[in-house]
Chains A and B, each alone.
Chain A
Amino acid sequence: MAKTYRVEIAGVSKSFRAVQALKDVSFNVRPGEIHALVGENGAGKSTLMNILSGVLRKDSGTIRMDGLPVEIPGPRAGRRLGIGIIHQELALVPALTVAENIFISRLSRRFGLVDWRDLNHRAGELLARTGFPEIDPRATVANLGVAYRQIVEIAKGLSENVRVLILDEPTSVLAPQEVENLFAALRILREQGVGLVYISHRLDEIFRIADRITVLKDGAVVRTVCPAEITPGDLIGLMIGRTLTAMFPHRDSRAGAEVLRVEALNRGGKVRDVSFAVRAGEIVGLAGLVGSGRTEILRAIFGADPKDGGTISVGGRRLRIHSPRDAVLNGIALVPESRKDHGVILNMSIRKNITLPSIGRLAGALGIIRQRKERSVAQTLAGKLGIKARSIEAEVADLSGGNQQKVVLAKWLGTDCRVLLLDEPTRGVDVGAKAELYRLISDLAGGGLAIVMVSSEMMELIGLCDRVAVVNRGGIAGVLEGAAITEENIMRLAVQKGTGGIG
């Protein structure tokens, strides 16, 4: 076979002290191919990509690019060889313009003066190559949405003449429509002969975009397959090393009395006339594009943002909610979208995180915390949710994403909440942990909580929700129930124009 690969990794191993992160891994990408890399967190995907981009050095093995053996001692060398990487956390400077960001590493090489016209012009050409000529090179990055920022990252990669572009969870922050746009850009790159490595937890997307799929588990390659040769269920089986009968637990819909009722909720054009009700034991999904107002609806219910109008009732009682405190006192809990910024306190222990909303009740006179009681409450909740950690005194920063999310859930279970608002509860969490969270959420509903769940993952909405309300530009465009909850129906409602309730 004289076929040359854009990049060919052969027999690469890497150890961190006693831990072998990669064992004799071989992996290759052809020119004009999208090669997906999947596996649980800790399977070695990031290590492999860090070696390829020069962040880490391999212990043994070889890397060839276009047939020639290369050494990649550092990130600069990686870039010079044409290896680009787009991280989960985007690496753009928000205060600079699109063009400045694209050419940031080469601005200063012009006798101290920057030729803005030329810069903007070249940036415009690159954006056009990605299929997004509508992005203005002079726009400030801070004003762009996440999806456009990603395109800017890709354009930045193109400006450096990438031969191999690595995308690490590129769609985790994108809505369905934006995912389509990203895919369009990726297909254009593929036609131009770039080799793409696509890392994602979202299997539905992988099956749509990938030409080949490589499964990593415990630092070794399990198999490389074509999407046509395997079913999503079998792929999950390869990733977690056992057959998965169902990602989603079976749920008996035995909804009880109405718990939460939201009526004519409005908030500054972002939320328009939103009304819905949730019964005990029910999971109601909020679907829609990113920016459609789903998060804003939850935050308005929770009192995190001021609302302009509308009523919220729990258990038939109309509530005055002006702050998260009002919501919590009335039995409403929120698991926020951004776990690290809003959900957990990273440098505090699991115990202190879990008892944060209920600490007042664990204290006696003068606000003195009853330490033994606090420990036992935290221990019980951590055990109930199966939080895996050295002890409840471990810092939350040391936990995996899935376990951090369990800490957020645990802290609300310590209160008397009746309504649980979940905003993207499984974002950035690996497959095994996702299944666990689904089971937990389902159990919580089974225990009589009324649950509202915002999600951008179709599978999750379809697999878990009793009903799905589709949000479109701040209003509810339609409510789907039972068998009508399909990807097509959700998308149709999410993107349709002139939805009712939007004046």
Chain B
Amino acid sequence: MEQQQRGTKGTADVDRPAARRLHRESLVVLVLEYNTVLIFLAMLVLAASLSDVFFSRNNIFNLLRQVAGLAGMGLGMLLVILTAGIDLSVGSVAALASVMVAWLLGVLGLGPALVLTVAIGSLCGAVSGYLVAARNMAPFVATLAMMTIARGFAFIVSKGSPIIIADPRLNNFGSAYWLGVPAPVFVMVVIFGLVAFLLRYTVFGRIVTAIGSNEAAVRLAGVRTGWYKFAVYCISGAFCAIAGIISTSRTGVGSPIVGTGAELDAIAAVVIGGASLGGGKGTAFQTLLGVLILGIIGNIMNLMNIPGYPQQVVKGLIIICAVLLQGWRRNPEG
């Protein structure tokens, strides 16, 4: 009985050396746990030493503006990946949203165009989500189909060429500053806050993470797992639409080729952020860092006038390093 008491009442009476050992171990664990932070800091140091202008206000804002869209897609991807799914359609849905908002703008005006575009994005997600949750289709396959469908619609709507937007308000959004930060960055922060909040404090976040760890157990606990799986694809679709809108506002055109290959960048950001593709593990903060790491790589190489091809190689190497570090963490003794 006494032992049970002690067992459940916490660690108050742990002996000192053991506590110290635990402390040191937890420091190591902490460092490994947050290897994304280390990589991020390393990238910052590297970037600063390679270029004087990296830390200039202009460059930082520019970098953040560039990654805002990817952050939206990455954070949506994180929710999907936490349920042990994957969403390959993110880039295509962003492209569809990009041309949709440009087209609807001329027809309906700014407000309705924005709302409808986000709705279309989440409708794309809803179709994938339905196929995965209700029809038991593999997420890879369902979203692969949605990837080509959404891209196809983007080309149909735009007839294959960019739609130049007429409304200066949307154009201004891309270059506007809200509360001293670029408007797209503001949107990114809001999305990040929302996802971080969902995952940390809500039932939704708890269940989504649990589904990725052991879906059968969650279902047998009386939870409608299908509904949650459906929901994460809808959210992902909505975030992708926002990413598409940001792209249109920054460039001034709705383009059907926006976000080509973005699904891989989004997955890369989530993976660099320490999430497991098997589901159940990952945080919004680390995914955001993953996005920023990818952004810094591109930014610094642009500043150094290195062409795009080596950038891809470096990106790949960073992914390998990040995942190797995680593997090491998972099995620290072997």
Contact = CB atoms under 8 A, between A and B. Distances in A.
Nearest to A347: B213
B7 interface: yes
Interface in B1-19: 3-5, 7-11
Given A348-B213, A352-B210, A382-B8, A324 B220 contact: yes
Interface stretch (A78-86, A264-272, A338-346): A338-346
A195 B25 CA distance: 44
Interface in B197-246: 201-204, 206-207, 209-210, 213-214, 216-224
Given A347-B213, A347-B281, A356-B218, A389 B223 contact: no
B221 A368 contact: no
Nearest to B281: A347
The SS class assigned to the B binding surface is helix
Range class of the B interface residue count: 20 to 34
A390 interface: yes
Contacts of A371: 201
A341 B222 contact: no
B202 A341 contact: no
Nearest to B1: A386
Nearest to A392: B8
B69 interface: no
A360 B203 contact: yes
Given A389-B7, A391-B10, A367 B203 contact: yes
B207 to A, nearest CB: 7
Nearest to A383: B8
A279 B181 CA distance: 66
B221 A344 contact: no
Given A363-B203, A366-B202, A324 B219 contact: yes
Contact of A328 (B216, B217, B222): B222
Nearest to B4: A386
A323 B7 contact: no
Contacts of A341: 214, 216-217
Interface in B169-217: 201-204, 206-207, 209-210, 213-214, 216-217
A379 interface: yes
Interface in B220-277: 220-224
A326 to B, nearest CB: 8
A345 B10 contact: no
A388 B4 contact: yes
B334 to A, nearest CB: 14
Interface residues of A, number: 41
B213 A342 contact: no
Nearest to B211: A345
A345 B210 contact: yes
A179 interface: no
Given A388-B4, A390-B11, A344 B217 contact: yes
B290 interface: no
Contact of A323 (B4, B209, B224): B224
B222 A357 contact: yes
Nearest to A412: B221
A116 to B, nearest CB: 34
B201 A368 contact: yes
B187 to A, nearest CB: 21
B280 interface: yes
B160 to A, nearest CB: 43
A217 to B, nearest CB: 17
5 contacts: A304-B220, A352-B206, A356-B218, A367-B202, A383-B5
Interface of A: 302, 304, 323-325, 327-329, 334, 336, 341-348, 352, 356-357, 359-360, 363, 366-369, 371, 379, 382-383, 386-392, 411, 415
